[in-house]
Every structure is written in structure tokens, then in C-alpha cells.
Amino acid sequence: MMQSGLIDDWRPKGGQLTIIRPSEVSRAAAIRATIDTTPPSFQQDAYLEMARTAKLTGQRFDRLILCAFTLAGVPDIAALVRTTTAIVRRHDSFHSWFEIDAEYRVQRRVVDAADIHLVSDSWGEIDGPLVSRILQHVTPGPSSWDCFTFAVIDHDGSFTVVVAADHINCDAISGAIISGEFAQLYYDPAGAERLAGIPVASYREHCGRERSQAARLGTDSAQIVQWADRIRANGGRLPSFPLPLRESDTTEAPTAASDRRVLLSGAAADGFEAACAAAGVRLVSGIFAAAAFAEYELTGRTTYFNLSPKSTRADDAERRSVGWYASLIPIAFDFDPAAGFAAVARDAETAFNAGKWLSDVSLHRVVELLESQPGFEVRRGWVAPMLSYLDMRKLPGADLFAAIDFSFFGSRGTSEEVYTWVQRTHENIWMASLFPDTEVAAKSMTRYADVLTGIMESIARSGSGVPTRDVA
């Protein structure tokens, strides 16, 4: 099973550590890089603002994404440097950095790909648990161009490759793209020539298109109106986790804690998936229906509202592109708990399909247009819980990821809400969560996960099921 969670929980096997990073000459070229008028994506812009605010208060907000995989043999460091350099030059999300002045004016600077050179540095024999601390220390945050690091841990007979990049440059899918290209470039002498013939989209151009398309929207645009309808139906606010996460008098954003558990395994996982099929819905809709039942158990609410991350990669070239291609699907529906799982799952499927159309518009643009209107309480800098679902069995190269022990982790940072990832593997349905590192949140997360697990187990056994509300 693929490992995921916080970087602090990552426990690689130790060995000879080599760090591969941009050279001093390349960093100097980045400082001199030309100005480009393309703004950051909405997601990048909000992230930069939150990171800057956190820095002013002495906190580190930035999110470092780490992907690791293990290959057989003795690492060829020179080939590894050529491979990582080729990957960074190929994907232009690594070419930009953002200069921010005191008035929070953001200016993009773009490094010429030919000026990017990576170099290796041997760190000697390092214990596995120390590697993550080293990578977090040497990789700067999103205000620096060189906020990405490659590493190799030589285990004497096999080696682990590590890709550590700030979220400003990539998302989880980017890690999988990099891993696949790495194998092609490292092992295949003609890989670079073949890869050069396969077009990859420009993330910078994606940012420009996103902004220009959003600029054509107004408060009366259909997608803006429907986003607003869902938010106003929730009292003008975004969704929130159904249980308390901190003491009521606490205002400081705590660091993040994590939890990871198997919801269903073996026959129970298959039984839940069969119940979804019998209801005529996809597994993702069954997950959201179970989440709706869980909130009903905990709060008595019969209206479900949540956000689900979605990759905005639109064509083959973008599906090969490294970058933060992200938007949110609003999933909102009323349901009757007494109608049973199948009916609620169909409600969830209808809501999910309707929400996908709205994910073409960034919620950040929705807030820009509507934050001054009466009854709309969401403001720039908003936070909200998110529930993501991914079927690992259907990922391109899924068998490869299992063979190379592919893992994915994120840095601790801060957290004001709950972010949950549910994944289906051949063996299990499991859930990983990030949440505020408070005693209140830890108890709430345990209770929520216990209730959700119980509901899914009941559905897996019976094929339907109407939960009995018990909020004691």
C-alpha cells in the first residue's frame, strides 16, 4: 500500500545521501531573470499571500511536497544529475519565481531553461529519519526560485530517489509525472530524445488562460450564480468540519497533525464497492454518501456540503505537465437518511456531477466577485475542509508505483481545517487526514473516523443501511 502522510512520519532506509540542487550560477541567473506579465494562478496567489502572512507572524506556512521511490542497483550520480536537470528544464513550473513587495504586488520572473544547471553534493552516511529534516532545511519556501530539491539515498544494492518541491510548483499528480519521466530518462539512453518528442503543456500559459477566462465572468455568469447559491444556502459561508477543532477562545492557527487508517479491507471493501454499483453510482459518490450519513450521525444535519479537490488538467499535454493544476468541486445536497444508502448515494452522484461544471471556475474568483455582496460571508484568505477521493487502481502506471514503493508526503505547516484523502487500492479503502494539532481536534477526528468507519462497514454488510442516529 502506498505510504502517505506528514513528512515527519516518513521513515526511509538510511544510506549514503546525495543532494541534487540548482547550482550557484543558476541561482544567480534566477535573480537576474526577466519579468513576465503572466500572473500566478489563483491557487498560487492565495498560497503566496498566506505564506507571506505566516512569515510576518513568525510561522512557516509553506507546504513541501515529497515523493519517494526505490530502484534497484547502484546509483549513477552523474546520470542522476543529467536526469533531474532534464526534468526541471522540461517543465516550466520550475522556471518561474514570484517577487513580492511590501504592498503585496506580485511580479513573476522567468529563468531561461538553458541557464538551469543542477549539481550534486555528497552528505555521507545519514540515518533515514534524519533525511526528511535535511530536505526540509535545505529546500526554501515559495518566495525563492530554487524551492525544489532532489535527493538519492544509496542503500548498497538499491537506492531511494526523493523529489521535494514546494507546492507553488507542483501537486501530487506532478510527483507521479516526475517519477515516470525519471525512470525513462535514467534507464533509457534514448529516453531524452523520445521524451523531447512528446509535447508537454506550459503551466505558465495555463495560468494566463485561467486568469483571462475568469476576467470574462461577472456576478450574473451562470457558474458564479450557482456557486453563490450553494454558499448562500449554507448561511453565506463555506462548509466547516462537523465537530470542534479547537477551544472556542483560540485564534492562533496551530500546526498540522495527521492520521491514517484503513476504513475497509478485503471483502468489506469489495462489499462497499458492490453496494455502490448496485445503487448505480461510482465509488466516489458512495464515499460522499457515507460522509453525509456520518455528519447526520454527529450533528443531525440532513444537508451535506463539502469541497473536493480536482485536477484541472484538460488534455494530454497538460496531463504530462508538472504544476499546481487544482480547483474545487462544490458538493451540496439535501438527503433523507431514512431513504437508505442507495438513494443518498444517487443524491451524492447528482451533486458531484453538477459540481464538476462549477470547478471550471476558481472559488477565489467567486469570492473576488461576491465578497462585497449582502449575505455572502466568505472573504479572501478563506479556509474550508476538503474531501478528496482517488482510485489508485486506475492511475496510469499503478503497477509501477507498487513495484517501486512510491510514497507521498507533505510538510507539517499550519492547519485551521480538516483535509481528508480517501483512496482505494486493490486491498483496502483507507483514509489519511491533516487537521489542527490540538487535543480537541484529535478527539474529534477519532470520533468522526469511528463513525464513518461504522457506517461504511454497515453498508458493506447489508448493501444498504439506514444509520441510527446516536450523538451521545
Q: What does the pLDDT look like over 121-134, one tens digit per residue?
A: 999 999 988 999 99
Query: How high is the pLDDT of residue 472?
Result: 33
Query: How high is the pLDDT of residue 409?
Result: 82
Select the more confidently predicted residue: 104 or 359.
359
Query: How high is the pLDDT of residue 467?
Result: 56
Domain ranges (residues) in the chain: 3-207, 218-392+412-462
Query: pLDDT exceeding 90 applies to what percent of the chain?
Result: 70
Mean pLDDT of all residues in 72-94? 96
* pLDDT above 70 (res 239): yes
* pLDDT above 70 (res 436): yes
pLDDT band, residue 351 (cuts 50/70/90): very high
* pLDDT above 70 (res 266): yes
Name residue, grid cell 447559491: 229
Mean pLDDT of all residues in 393-421? 77
Of 85-99, 245-259, 365-379, the poorest mean pLDDT is in 245-259
* Sheet order of strands, 96-100 included: 34-36, 106-110, 96-100
Query: How high is the pLDDT of residue 131?
Result: 93
Task: Identify the CATH homologous superfamily for domain 218-392+412-462.
Answer: Nonribosomal peptide synthetase, condensation domain (3.30.559.30)
Query: How high is the pLDDT of residue 179?
Result: 87
Find the farthest-apart pair of alpha carbons in the chain and give their distance in angstroms, rounded. 66
pLDDT band, residue 58 (cuts 50/70/90): low
Query: How high is the pLDDT of residue 49?
Result: 87
Distances (CA, A) of 408 to 6, 27, 137, 287, 411: 9, 27, 18, 22, 11
9-12 contacts, C-beta under 8 A, 24 or more apart: 9/258, 9/409, 10/66, 10/68, 10/131, 10/132, 10/407, 10/409, 11/128, 11/129, 12/68, 12/128, 12/131, 12/132, 12/153, 12/160, 12/162
Q: Is 369 left (phi over 0), alpha (psi -120 to 50) or beta?
A: alpha
Contacts of 203 (CB under 8 A, 6+ apart): 91, 92, 93, 321, 322, 323, 324, 325
pLDDT band, residue 90 (cuts 50/70/90): very high
Q: Which amino acid is at 433?
A: S
Query: How high is the pLDDT of residue 471?
Result: 37
Query: How high is the pLDDT of residue 248?
Result: 72
pLDDT band, residue 246 (cuts 50/70/90): confident
Select the more confidently predicted residue: 454 or 426.
454
* Sheet order of strands, 386-391 included: 256-265, 428-436, 419-424, 386-391, 303-311, 326-334
Query: How high is the pLDDT of residue 468?
Result: 55
Q: Is the CB of residue 203 less than 8 Å from the CB of residue 91?
A: yes
Mean pLDDT of all residues in 216-231? 96
Distance CA(77)–CA(335), nearest Å, equals 57
Nearest CA to 106 out of 43, 32, 167, 49 is that of 49
Query: How high is the pLDDT of residue 339?
Result: 93
Query: How high is the pLDDT of residue 1?
Result: 53
Q: What is the CATH code for 3-207?
A: 3.30.559.10
CA torsion angle 228 61 3 454 (round to 10) = -50
* pLDDT above 90 (res 285): yes
Distance CA(373)–CA(379), nearest Å, equals 11
HSE on the CB side for 244, CA within 13 Å?
Answer: 8
Of 56-70, 195-209, 264-278, 282-296, the poorest mean pLDDT is in 56-70
Secondary structure, 3-state, 294-331: HHHHHHCCCEEEEEEEEECCCCHHHHCCCCCCEEEEEE
Query: How high is the pLDDT of residue 462?
Result: 84
* pLDDT above 90 (res 209): yes
pLDDT band, residue 50 (cuts 50/70/90): confident
Q: Residue 214 is placed in which grid cell?
A: 475568469
Mean pLDDT of all residues in 239-253? 81
Q: Residue 185 is placed in which grid cell?
A: 530518462
| 160-169, 241-250, 396-405: which is most confident | 160-169
Select the more confidently predicted residue: 4 or 290.
290
Distances (CA, A) of 16 to 68, 124, 183, 409: 16, 5, 20, 21
What's the mean pLDDT when you consider all of the chain? 90
